[in-house]
Amino acid sequence: MRKLILGVLTLVVVAIVAELGVAAYTEHRISRTLRESAELEADPHVILRGFPVLPDIISGKYSKIDIQAQRVSTDYAGRVSLEAALVGAEITPSAWYQRRITALHADELTGRVIMNQTELGQTFNIPDLRLSFFPPGIIDAFGTATQDELNLHRPVMMTATVPESTTNEPVTVEARLYLDGHELEVRPLRYYNGPERDREIPIPEELQDEVLRSFGMTITIPDVPFGLTPAVAYPQGGRIVVESTVANVTLDLDHRRASVGAANQ
């Protein structure tokens, strides 16, 4: 009986090691292909979601593939993070071992550009910029809004220390995100002086309009990963996320573009 148990355990360990090894190799091959096609400075992080993933690799139909490239240099927001999520991605199994992949198909693609507060502050000369957002309960008192609806209507709070402050205290303003095609406007609307509107604004009254405008940003984003046109922008912690989702797409890895329609590799 002991030998049988040891034998079963050995088979389980071998299966797990084989799964991890094949998954790691597949993730590496996808990562190298994406680095070459996007001309990135380093290999992006690729994660095959789901367990076990070996059946996905054998069939060539992946439940989900997450791709992340950190600290990518841009001329519009400093270093940003690029993310893509592929649901139902199809890759001919033998293709990874026989030749370089130039295209793949996915049931759904979500691409994101993520801009963090530090890089935005440096790019737009706003010292020690910090980004936050109202809790959902303030925007949706009845708790009936979806996450997408919250993203569309959630303001972003911008906090920074400005030279004009009379007490050298940070100033917080409420701003809205307006996305029009590739242009994202961060438009400051008013000072935020607490939920009870009883917090003093440490800016001389004659300078308040000028300081408020200094928090404004206009960012031209060429596209999100795989050439998708930006569709929605929303704050997320200390970041601003620009995102787009399309269904039934074919990715041209040589030209870093996505087109609607099936074209299997």
163-203 residue pLDDT tens = 877 778 889 999 999 999 999 999 999 998 776 666 788 88
- Is there a single domain that holds both residue 204 and residue 247? no
Look up the pTM and report it: 0.80
Q: Output the average pLDDT for the chain.
A: 77
Based on the fold, state whether residues 24 and 129 are members of the same structural domain: no
Strands 61-73 and 79-90: antiparallel
Q: What percent of the chain has pLDDT over 90?
A: 37
Residue 14 pLDDT? 43
Q: How many other C-beta atoms can be found within 10 angstroms of the C-beta atom of residue 34? A: 23
pLDDT of residue 245 exceeding 70: yes
The verdict on 123 and 157 lying in the same domain is yes
Q: pLDDT band for 8, please (50, 70, 90 cuts).
A: very low
Select from 170, 180, 178 the least CA-distant residue to 235.
178
Q: What pLDDT sits at residue 219?
A: 96
260: in domain: no
pLDDT digits 0-9 by tens, 99-129: 566 677 889 999 999 999 999 999 999 989 9
Q: Do 6 and 52 belong together in one domain?
A: yes
pLDDT for the residue numbered 265: 42
Q: What is the domain count for the chain?
A: 2
Please tell me whether residue 119 adopts helix, strand or coil conformation: helix
Q: 25-77, pLDDT tens digit by residue? A: 666 666 666 666 555 667 788 888 766 766 777 777 888 889 898 999 999 99
On whether both 207 and 132 belong to a single domain, the answer is yes
DSSP label at 39? T
Residue 262 lies in a domain: no
Residues 32, 104 share a domain: yes
Domain of residue 82 covers: 2-116+229-254
